[in-house]
Amino acid sequence: MSEHITVLLNEAVDALVQDVDGLFIDCTFGRGGHSRLILEKLSPQGRLIGIDKDPRAIATANQLAEEDSRFSICHGSFADMSTWLEQNGEGRPVAGILMDLGVSSPQLDEAERGFSFMNDGPLDMRMNTESGLTAAQWVASAKEEEIANVLYQFGEERYSRRLAKAIVTRRTQEPFERTLDLAQVIKDAHPKWEKGKHPATKSFQAIRIFLNDELGDLTSGLETATDLLAKDGRLVVISFHSLEDRMVKRFIRDKEKGPQLPPDIPVMASDFPIVLKHIGKAIKPSKEEVNANIRSRSAIMRVAQKQV
């Protein structure tokens, strides 16, 4: 099994844990790197709730829950964290919430998960393998226009229409069932490859984000997290994609500045209290971390603190 190297481990936990007696939420448990370090920082009175969609992550988390009574795990989306908090939070205020977005190394490297265009496996791509459409089912049934829109909106793929046409043309001859099959069709149809990047990179990323509603979960999760945090509580978000990071950056900015209203609207700035305040500049992995783990190169971490 592939080893998962937690990105920005110390930076994220140091920014998150300001109250060692507090209650924290790790929205994306993964293989537990952040969670274990959070628990090391917490006092005996501290508590941590983990959340993850992936059944394999849940199996790892269950072992941690048996070892440490301060930790509990919830199987599902962090968009529903208010429900998980109600069930596991003991009525305590939330001192910090961590979101480490994207996919883990085991998910990418285990061919049977279907996330990788480098390792052949069934075309799945679901974070939660117990529910939802597989990538194979979606590619087989989606209209050409929908495929093109997904590749463009979620992958920022400039040749989305050309690639969608190639996918639909090929599926009429034979259905897509394997990752390398889809990757090859995209590769053959792609007119311009970026240096050092497989031409199917953006398309696979787009399909994964769409199928797992990752941006929808992020939108809901950011709002919910802000509502749940106690005053002075910390929100820490690690993104691996420009779409995600833009969403996080704008969200924090809007909560910091309040709604941008026309100047002739008869309201005062004081009518809209500052909800979040960004803490420091965005943080990226060091050269040493990138050299040790090339998958960390696109990571960017933003930190905000609840003001009210």
Map out the domains of the chain with their CATH numbers: 9-105+214-306 (3.40.50.150), 129-211 (1.10.150.170)
Q: Is the pTM of this model over 0.85?
A: yes
The predicted-structure confidence for 245-257, as pLDDT tens digits, reads as follows 999 999 999 999 8
pLDDT at residue 273, as a whole number = 82
pLDDT at residue 118, as a whole number = 85
pLDDT at residue 1, as a whole number = 42
pLDDT at residue 40, as a whole number = 97
**276-278/47-52 β-pairing:** unpaired
pLDDT at residue 93, as a whole number = 93
pLDDT at residue 105, as a whole number = 65
pLDDT at residue 197, as a whole number = 86
Rounded Cα distance, 184 and 59, in Å:
34
Q: Are 304 and 225 in contact (CB under 8 A)?
A: no
pLDDT at residue 69, as a whole number = 96
The proportion of the chain whose per-residue pLDDT surpasses 90, expressed as a percent, equals 78
- With a cut of 50, which residues of the chain have pLDDT below it? 1-2
